[in-house]
Structure 1
Amino acid sequence: MSSSSTALAFFFLTCTIAAVAGRQFLVGENVGWRVPAMRETQLYDIWALRRHFYVGDTLRFQYKNDSVVLTTESAFMRCDSRQPISVFNDGNTVINLDKVGKFYFISGKANRCIKGQKMTVNVESRNYPYPPPVVTPPHSPNYPIYPAPPSSQLPGSGNSSDSGPESTVSISVMSFIVSVVGLWLCMHHP
């Protein structure tokens, strides 16, 4: 294999790895992991519902004088951290979403959890055969419900400027196909 073929194969391999690597989400973005204000008790569930999480993505929790507890659904509902799956208290916790399903997070301090410092994250497979379902946050008087976009702006409606999760998956699949073809060409054409 010539050096240009090797460089090309390395380029395609790098593109493939970049295309399938997960994203990292900063929980709560600029507010971090904290007790929500009285008017925003659903802060973290709404934050999570507005995003699509896939196997391989990570969550970064940033906080002070607190903890992050990964727990079961029943413990989540009771704000009970006595039998956790995992506990983190380093102030800058990164959690790998390593399987499909729901992950339940609460503060390790029950009074903080009761005030809304808890979150459910639904993780999907990157190989999902159809566009992920649209999830509407629960109605709350503190959070406005916005009307649905016109059908011309929905994924698959011919709008070429769409860059949502479905486009990311399409780009990943296309990068993988191009990589495989490129590697095959490199190996079979000296």
Structure 2
Amino acid sequence: MARGRICLFLACLVAASVSSTASAFVFKAGGTAEWRVPAESSGANASAYNAWAQRNRFRVGDAIAFTYQPGNDSVLLVDKKAYEACDTGSPIDTFADGNTVFNFTRSGPFYFISGNKDNCNRNEKLIVVVMAERVAVGNDTEPPAPPAGLAPSPNGPFSPSSPPPPFGIDISPTANPPPPPNAAAPKAAGVAGTAALAIGALFYALV
């Protein structure tokens, strides 16, 4: 009886380890990752980046990618006050390598503006609200679905012909978005395999 309880307990630990494992996603800023002044078509959308952000669901552990021309632009992480005023003088952090991938390590709002004040005044700015960590359900990870009542615009200010950056996972809204890769699967398989060996060794020792 004792042996059976021990094996059952270890099996539960394996199941908990596998189910709690969740993958993260890399979002492309604006859907293309191109960090630039939004196009002035469609009435000069004053919140083009934010409209895109509202159609996505960001979680702790996810990241956002920006591509731009080094020397001509940059990405500044700022507070709300600096965001609203396009104040580039005292950013929380500065990125100028041309291929910036920023990881979200906490929940809450993140404010990004262009390092070029004139670009920021022309709406090259973005607010990302990050929620809690993504939760795995069974063998699948909860996908980044748009909130209820919000649908992607088929004619956004970002050019669909823009070349994608050579990194990241494009999970921007599309008519038929491909399912995101389950990055948690290899890790989960490794955890399950290790735990299974431990269970087998313990059972053998008890016998």
Give me the TM-score of the superposition, normalised by structure 1. 0.63
Which secondary structure state, in structure 2, belongs to the residue aligned with residue 83 of structure 1?
coil
Shift of 1:124: 1.1
1:42 aligns with 2:47: yes
Preserved contact between residue 49 and residue 135 of structure 1 (Cα < 8 Å): no
User: After the TM superposition, which residues 63-142 of structure 1 pair with which residues of structure 2 at under 5 Å, given as runs?
Assistant: 63-64=68-69, 65-126=72-133, 134=147
5+ residue gaps in structure 2? 1-13, 136-141, 157-177, 202-207
Give distance in 2, aligned partners of 1:25 and 1:41: 21
Q: Cα 1:135–1:103, aligned 2, differ >3 Å: closer, same or farther?
A: farther
For the aligned residue pairs, the C-alpha RMSD in angstroms reads 3.7
**What's the CA shift for 1:26?**
1.4
Alpha-carbon distance in 1 for matches of 2:77, 2:83: 9
| Structure 1 position 189 matched with structure 2 position 200 | yes
Instruction: Tell me the equivalent position of 1:25.
Output: 27
Letter in 1 for 2:147: V
Structure 2: which amino acid aligns with 1:33?
W
Partner residue, 1:61: 66
CA distance in 2, matches of 1:25, 1:88: 17
Structure of higher RCO (CA pairs closer than 8 Å, 6+ residues apart): 2
Distance 1:75 1:136 in 2: 30
Q: Deviations over 1:31-73 (max 9, x none)?
A: 6110012323211001111111111111110012101000001
Size of the alignment, in residue pairs?
148
The 1:53/1:99 distance shift into structure 2, 3 A limit, reads: same
| Cα distance change on mapping 1:46 and 1:78 into 2, 3 Å | same
Unmatched 5+ residue regions in structure 1? 1-11, 144-162
Secondary structure (helix, strand or coil) at the match of 1:134 reads: coil
Identity of aligned residues (%): 35
